[in-house]
Every structure is written in C-alpha cells, then in structure tokens.
Amino acid sequence: MVIIESTDEEEYDTSLLVIIVDTNIYSWGNRILQMSNKTESTSSTKLGSSLIGFNTFVEHLMVFINLHLMLNQENQIAVISSQIGEARFLFPEPHQSQSTKSEQKSIQNIILGKLLHLDTTIKETNQESTSSNFSAALSLSLCYINRIKKEVPIIRPRIFVLNISPDASSQYISVMNCIFSAQKQSIPLDTCILSQQDSTFLQQASHLTNGIYLKPQRQENLSQYLISTFLMDTYSRKLLQCPTLKSVDYRATCFCHKRIVDIGFVCSVCLSIFCSYSSSCSTCGTKFSLKIEIPKSRKSLSQPSSQEQPTNNKDKVEY
C-alpha cells in the first residue's frame, strides 16, 4: 500500500479529557440548603447567581461527556470523583481499558451507577474531615494521563475540574506539586467553580497551566458554559478567544498550620513558608541562628526576617 503521510499534526484535535468531579456530600448538601433558603426569601437577591442541585448538575455533565465523545471518534474520557477522604475512578473502571468502549452506550450508565453507589458509601464512613480529597484526585488524573500518553503518544490531554467545595488548605503542598507537574507536561487544567467563592488553588492552577478558569453566573445554563468554553481542544485554544482571569489570588498556605497567609516567613534554603517564626525549618532542618526581636527592623541577611507590620503589603515575603 502506498501511503504518504499527510497528517497535519497541527490540526490534530484528538483529546483525552479527565474530568474531576467534586462529589463532596456536605458541599452538595449545603447547596440544597442554600437553594431552599433562596426560594423562601423569594428572589430578594435576584442578582446573585442561580444555583443548581446535584441531579441537574449530573444531567449537564452527561450532555457534556456525550458531546466530547461525539466530537472525535478517538476522543477518550476519564471521570474521577473527589470525595471526602479519597478519590475514585468513576470511569473507566480499573480493569476495563479505554479501548474496549464496546459499550459506549453504557459510559453514562457506569458513571451514574457509580454515583448512586457513592452516596451510600459516604453515609457509612464517618470521618472527621469534611473536605474532599482534591489532591488525590489530581494525582490520580496525572498518573492516568501519563499512562494513556505512553499508549497513545499523539493524544492531547487536559484536565477539567468541576469544583464546589472550598479549598482545603491542608492539601496546599500536594496540590501545588500536582499543578507544577501538570505545568511541566503542559497539560491545561480547566476549572469550573460551582460555588460562590473563588478557589485560590484552582485560580493558580489554571493560571499556571494555561487553563480556563470560570465561575458561571447562571448555573441553570451550565451546559452552555461547558459546551462553548470547556470543550475547546488545545489546538483550537491557540486560535480562538478563551476567557481569561483578570486577577489571580497568589496567596500561599503556610507549611506549619496550613493557614493562608498574606505575609509570612520563608526558609532561605528550601523556600518553605511559615506563618510564625521558629528556630529551625521543619522541612529541610536548617537552623536559623538569628533571632528577630525588633519587628520594625529590616535585615536583609540570608536569614528569615520578620515583617510583622501588616501595612507593608508590597513585599509580602522577605529574606
């Protein structure tokens, strides 16, 4: 057979989409409360964003998945749920490879079945922490992408996060590590925030990986947002206009108490961030010999110096 490759590498839009769905039962439960409150207060705050419940959300998501698979014969999908304490694959199932999507009809059914199953398992586990394990979900998706990339080198991966829970600052380090690894492999990380608060983590994530960060104002039209923005493959993004973030919240979380800090201490050796002064770095073990007694004095030695006055916002962190 005489085949002359005429593949325009550029026009290649086959993509692997890994969707991380936040299925935190508390957040979605809160959502129901918010929604019922809203109906009681009879649209006194009509300007606020309209909210949707989990069922409606899943419907929108299904349309989105359907359309993604329809766009290209070789498009692949993976859905990971980030829930309290753990992250799990909703699709594909562990021992089922993507290529045997023989029952494409049942992708939706598999996901729905798993989602139903989730609800009951969560009720049984009674954990203290109520935050979803987002970092685990992110690592899972990166591992999965890595695996698929080995099998199919030409596929273009991207991660799409649908988030509703607030940031868990305890996961800051692991999340940031994931973000940097995604950045290094140039995997865009898109985010759709369903709650009313912006997420610091995800803003940074989308910004660093050239992804799209969006907080839909009118959630009842969620599929329109999903279809018109988040279905853009990496090739089209170079040519089309994508929503961009005007300002990104770059605040970091301290390594000692996992608090989000505006101003803090930074280890001069390993750049760990601390909210309060200690005599040695808990990450790398460096001993800080200099004691800081006068808060106003500026000491630009190679030692961590303090900056207690909150008025000076220009240099958040000093060495």
Partner 1 sequence: MKIFQYLSSLNQEDLDQLYKDNWTCQAILRSLPPIGKQFILKLLMIDSIEFEQTKIWTQEISNQVHRETFKKLFDLKLLTKNKTCIQLNSIFQHNIKQSLMDMEHRVFSSDTTVKELKAPTIDELDQFSKTQWEKVLYLLSDEKSDSIPLISELLQSSNLTSRDGNGQLAITSEGFKFLLKDIYTQIWTLLIVYLDTIEKKYKSRIELLCFLFKLSFLQLGRGYLVSELTQLQKTLLTDLKQFGLIYIKSNDNPYFYPTRLIISLTTGKTLSLMQDIKTEQALSQKEQGYIILETNYRLYAYTSSSLQISLLSLFVKMLYRLPNLAVGIVTRESIRMALIHGITADQIIDFIRHNAHPNATLAGTPIPDVVAEQVKLWEAERNCVDYSKAVLYNSFPTLDCFNATVKYAKELNLFIYSNDSKKILVIDESGNEPIRNYIRKNFG
Q: Using CB under 8 A as the criterion, which residues of the chain lie in contact with partner 1 when the complex forms? A: 1-7, 11, 13, 62-63, 66-67, 70-74, 76, 97-99, 102, 104-105, 108-109, 151-152, 154, 223-224, 227-228, 231-233, 235-236, 238-241
Give the side-chain half-sphere CA count within 13 A for 269.
Answer: 9
Buried b (16+ CB within 10 A) or exposed e, 288-305: beeebeeeeeeeeeeebb
In terms of C-beta density within 10 A (0-12 exposed, 13-18 middle, 19 or more buried), how is residue 47 classed?
exposed
Instruction: Please provide residue 76's backbone torsions phi and psi, each rounded to the nearest 5 degrees.
Output: -120, 160
The least distance separating partner 1 from the CB of residue 90, rounded to whole angstroms, comes to: 15
- SS3 assignment, position 299: coil
235 or 319: CB nearest partner 1: 235
Positive or negative, the CA dihedral 266, 272, 277, 283 is negative
The least distance separating partner 1 from the CB of residue 153, rounded to whole angstroms, comes to: 8
The least distance separating partner 1 from the CB of residue 73, rounded to whole angstroms, comes to: 5
The least distance separating partner 1 from the CB of residue 109, rounded to whole angstroms, comes to: 7
53 or 243: CB nearest partner 1: 243
32 or 154: CB nearest partner 1: 154
- SS3 assignment, position 260: strand
- SS3 assignment, position 287: strand
The least distance separating partner 1 from the CB of residue 205, rounded to whole angstroms, comes to: 23
| Residues, the chain | 319
143 or 154: CB nearest partner 1: 154
The least distance separating partner 1 from the CB of residue 60, rounded to whole angstroms, comes to: 11
208 or 231: CB nearest partner 1: 231
The least distance separating partner 1 from the CB of residue 46, rounded to whole angstroms, comes to: 23
Cα(29)–Cα(27) distance, rounded to whole angstroms?
5
Distances (CA, A) of 107 to 59, 90, 91, 160, 256: 14, 10, 7, 18, 43
69 or 261: CB nearest partner 1: 69
4 or 33: CB nearest partner 1: 4
Three-state secondary structure string covering 112-147: HHHHHHHHHHHHHCCCCCCCECHHHHHHHHHHHHHH
- SS3 assignment, position 21: strand
